[in-house]
Structure 1
Amino acid sequence: MNTSIFEFLAARRSVKPDRLAEPGPTPEELRRILTVGARVPDHKKLAPWRFIVFEGDARKSMGEIFAKACEKEDRQPPSPVRLETERTRFLRAPLVVAVVSSIKPRPGAPEWEQILSAAAVCFNTCLAANALGFGTSWITEWIAYSETVRQALGLKESERIAGFIYIGRPMEKPEERDRPDIDKLITSWPA
């Protein structure tokens, strides 16, 4: 047993996006992170996911799209504070990677398995970044479900945001949180 990998996984913890600082990954580090991120179960080798990377000024321009989406889609006019929150949403971390679930119709490769593969990409991307010393946070937030944002990102009808992975250097070690009682989650067959 490789105890160092086991200990790494046992200690893994998400870092809130606003607790992630510069510097973000270099282009070479990002390529390594995404290459390892893509090493997931993938029935029929369809690669039913893709990445969109936001760094530098792209994070700010995406924030303008979030603010417009908020104005367009909220039931009541958003406050100036809310609009500023949306404008700076991606500025909380040095780099954000959108993982897009991209279903590819194929006999023998159920849609659900393809969605699960995209989720595995999200988590594997986090683990790869963590292994290089970066903190990560995998979240969706309302923007993943916004039609305005979907259109701005050029998502096809068969595509959805599986998650936004915020990546940066942790400002401090995150505190451990309560975990589920594993004994309450295990049953043996036959039940």
Structure 2
Amino acid sequence: MPDALELLKTRRSVSAFLLGDPAPSDADIRQMIEIAARVPDHGKLTPWRFILYRREQGERLSELLMPLYHARFPNAEAQRVEQERGRFSRSPVTIGVISKAATHAKIPEWEQFLSAGASTMNLVLAAHALGFAAQWVSDWCADDVAASALLGAGPGERFVGFVHIGTPKEKPLDRPRPAVDEVLSNWSEAR
């Protein structure tokens, strides 16, 4: 297991198409969710939850989602349609992260939504720490009300995204990252 700083320095997304077996075990998944839940959560609202999708459920999910996809994207190219058909079969495991942000007297919804995002990032980091790789995606089904309902979102809930998890089929390459001086500035009253 890499040390914490090395883990953070080496984490990178790996396309779901490049994630294979072995899949995380049930114990691995439970540990990832425990880690994903250790995020700032003002008011202890737990404004997020998780849904597990296994590769073997992908075909059934495709049967349910493809009519919605075709209705929304009637002119989609054949290659894109085939990619969409395999959305939940690409990686061994996909975990949907749902925001349950709701009106609260003291805690704004946007803060609750950020907590769900932090939870999603912790999930990605946990996968990396356990020797797996992950890709956090959203795409159309995260915003489509009917698709979200089919995937398990309830009224007032919204998908933050879907985290594909598996073992990389090849060593992932890093991409250029911004230089610190490009993204960090010192505060100054006069601008």
Q: Structure 2 matches for 1:1-191, cutoff 5 A? A: 4-74=3-73, 76-78=74-76, 80-191=78-189
Contact 1:64/1:86 (CA < 8 Å) preserved in 2? no
Deviates more, 1:98-107 or 1:82-91: 82-91
- Cα pair distance change 1:9/1:148, threshold 3 Å: same
C-alpha distance after superposition, 1:49-88 (max 9, x if no partner): 11010004322211222311111212x3445544332221
Contact 2:55/2:91 (CA < 8 Å) preserved in 1? no
TM-score, structure 2 normalization: 0.91
Contact 2:55/2:90 (CA < 8 Å) preserved in 1? no
1:145 partner letter: D
Unaligned runs of 5+ in 1: none
C-alpha distance after superposition, 1:21-54 (max 9, x if no partner): 0121111111011111111000000000110100
Q: Give the match's secondary structure for 1:62.
A: helix
**Matches of 2:148 and 2:88, distance apart in 1:** 16
**Matches of 1:173 and 1:154, distance apart in 2:** 33
- Cα pair distance change 1:64/1:81, threshold 3 Å: farther
Contact 1:67/1:84 (CA < 8 Å) preserved in 2? no
Between structures 1 and 2, the one with greater helix share: 1
**Matches of 1:100 and 1:57, distance apart in 2:** 22
Deviates more, 1:28-37 or 1:138-147: 138-147
Q: Give the match's secondary structure for 1:85.
A: helix
Deviates more, 1:33-42 or 1:139-148: 139-148
C-alpha distance after superposition, 1:83-122 (max 9, x if no partner): 3322211111000000001113221111111010000011
Quote the RMSD (CA, aligned, Å).
1.7
The list of structure 1 runs, each at least 4 consecutive aligned residues, that deviate by more than 6 angstroms after superposition, is none
How many residue pairs match? The answer is: 188
Contact 1:70/1:78 (CA < 8 Å) preserved in 2? no
**Matches of 1:190 and 1:84, distance apart in 2:** 52
Q: Give the match's secondary structure for 1:90.
A: coil
1:148 partner letter: A
TM-score, structure 1 normalization: 0.91
**Matches of 2:159 and 2:91, distance apart in 1:** 18
